[in-house]
């Protein structure tokens, strides 16, 4: 993976020219960070056909970004709100237009949620999903998620603290202050780490740290991070970015366990962007052992993976309640096809135990312990 790291260093820190092959490009694209190289392509050596493909991919992603930004800039919401992640993360990049935006995450003050909901419908958006945490609205193939709450932590008190902090800082600019915005990016890593995230989310954090967290500002930010139990994650993730991605050194993360940094980077590279389809083939048994400790977390895994893999359920809502069955069959087939199932099971059981140990060291959430949700005006653990 050193060539992938070399490309990232070239993009952000103007390191020396690098040579890229197909495998390196595939990893960058798989993690949805290939467009970040747009301004540095002339300093990357590669075959002509790959260069043309790369340029085409960048143009396609930039066009989609423009479409998302247009929808975001014309949201019909008249109550105060802020945009989480997405463009709020892109502001820290040297070229924000090349940071790919997946969807538009919005949160309002609690008393304004219903009005924002109705205004989106009146503005031509259609509901694509309705969950306890957020409602998804579609328009022009762009997804906007209106959040009832954002934090996804084990402790209800910490979740309330995080969401209250966001809501208290909603102003007229649709963007949070830097410290709170950085806390959102850190919590975003926490939310997706369990089932898989990629280098894109790590780079979001790295860019925030580069612009907003020099040594003299760490203590004030640490107070926020510690209040939601994520100060260890902040320290390890930052030191990991220094070791592998070229982030300039900061004294405040110098005592991070470098073995833990390596373990975290290896895990991120194996998972890919949000733990998508390819990651399923890396740790099927590991995921089953990890999430299988409670029926609810196991059902969540099967449903998520089933929705990612079953194209028919993605198109037809009536099939979605059965996604977990589809995924169960996939896992059974994969298990039966193994040449040495016993050895693989032992290996994956060990990997699951190592993952649990890593998460404990990082202080991140574990859904097997129950997650805090906001219901009927209060935070409870489910």
Q: How confident is the model at residue 197 (pLDDT cuts 50, 70, 90)?
A: confident
Q: What is the pLDDT of residues 275-310, one digit of tens each?
A: 444 444 445 555 655 565 666 666 776 777 777 778
pLDDT score for 333: 72
pLDDT at 301: 66
Residue 191 counted as domain residue: no
Domain identity same for 243 and 288 = no
Are both 119 and 170 inside the same structural domain?
yes
Range of the domain at 27: 1-74
Over residues 39-63, mean pLDDT:
96
Higher pLDDT, 292 or 169: 169
Claim to verify: residue 269 and residue 288 sit in the same structural domain = no
- Asked whether residue 248 falls in the same domain as residue 340, the answer is no
Question: pLDDT at residue 339 above 70?
Answer: no
Residue 193 lies in a domain: no
User: 283 with 236, same domain?
Assistant: no
- Which pLDDT value is given to residue 143? 96
CA dihedral 145, 113, 126, 137 (to 10 degrees): 0
Average pLDDT over residues 187-209: 93
Query: When comparing pLDDT for 300 and 226, which is higher?
Result: 226
**115 lies in the same domain as 155:** yes
- Please work out, in degrees rounded to the nearest 5, the angle formed at the alpha carbon of residue 195 by the alpha carbons of 190 and 197: 65
More confident residue, 340 or 218: 218
Phi then psi dihedrals of residue 370, to 5 deg: 90, 145
Number of domains in the chain: 4
Query: pLDDT per residue over 346-356, tens digit each?
Result: 666 677 788 88
The CATH code of the domain that includes 137 is 3.30.460
| 170 and 206 fall within a common domain | no
pLDDT given for residue 172 in this prediction: 84
* pLDDT number for residue 210: 98
Identify whether residues 69 and 97 lie together within a single domain: no
């Amino acid at each position: 993976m050193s060539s992938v790291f070399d490309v990232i260093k070239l993009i952000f820190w103007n390191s020396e020219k690098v040579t890229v092959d197909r495998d390196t490009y595939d990893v960058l694209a798989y993690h949805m960070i290939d467009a970040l190289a747009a301004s540095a392509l002339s300093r990357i050596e590669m075959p002509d056909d790959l260069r043309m493909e790369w340029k085409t991919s960048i143009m396609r992603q930039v066009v989609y970004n423009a479409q998302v930004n247009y929808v975001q800039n014309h949201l019909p919401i008249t109550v105060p709100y802020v945009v989480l992640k997405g463009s709020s993360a892109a502001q820290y990049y040297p070229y924000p237009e090349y940071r790919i935006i997946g969807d538009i995450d919005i949160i309002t003050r609690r008393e304004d949620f219903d009005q924002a909901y109705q205004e989106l419908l009146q503005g031509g958006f259609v509901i694509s999903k309705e969950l306890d945490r957020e409602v998804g609205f579609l328009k022009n193939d762009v997804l906007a998620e209106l959040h009832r709450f954002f934090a996804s932590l084990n402790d209800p008190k910490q979740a309330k603290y995080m969401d209250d902090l966001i809501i208290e800082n909603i102003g007229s600019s649709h963007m949070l202050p830097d410290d709170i915005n950085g806390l959102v990016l850190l919590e975003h890593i926490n939310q997706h780490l369990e089932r898989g995230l990629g280098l894109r989310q790590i780079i979001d954090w790295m860019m925030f740290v580069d612009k907003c967290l020099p040594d003299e500002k760490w203590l004030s930010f640490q107070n926020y991070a510690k209040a939601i139990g994520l100060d260890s994650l902040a320290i390890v993730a930052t030191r990991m970015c220094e070791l592998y991605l070229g982030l300039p050194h900061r004294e405040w993360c110098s005592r991070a366990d470098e073995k833990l940094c390596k373990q975290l980077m290896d895990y991120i590279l194996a998972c890919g962007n949000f733990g998508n389809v390819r990651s399923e083939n890396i740790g099927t048994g590991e995921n089953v052992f990890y999430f299988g400790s409670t029926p609810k977390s196991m059902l969540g895994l099967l449903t998520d993976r089933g929705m990612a893999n079953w194209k028919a359920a993605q198109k037809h809502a009536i099939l979605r309640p059965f996604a977990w069955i589809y995924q169960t069959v996939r896992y059974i087939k994969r298990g039966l096809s193994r040449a040495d199932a016993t050895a693989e099971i032992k290996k994956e059981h060990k990997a699951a135990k190592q993952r649990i140990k890593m998460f404990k060291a990082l202080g991140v959430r574990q859904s097997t312990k129950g997650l805090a949700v906001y219901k009927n005006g209060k935070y409870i653990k489910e």
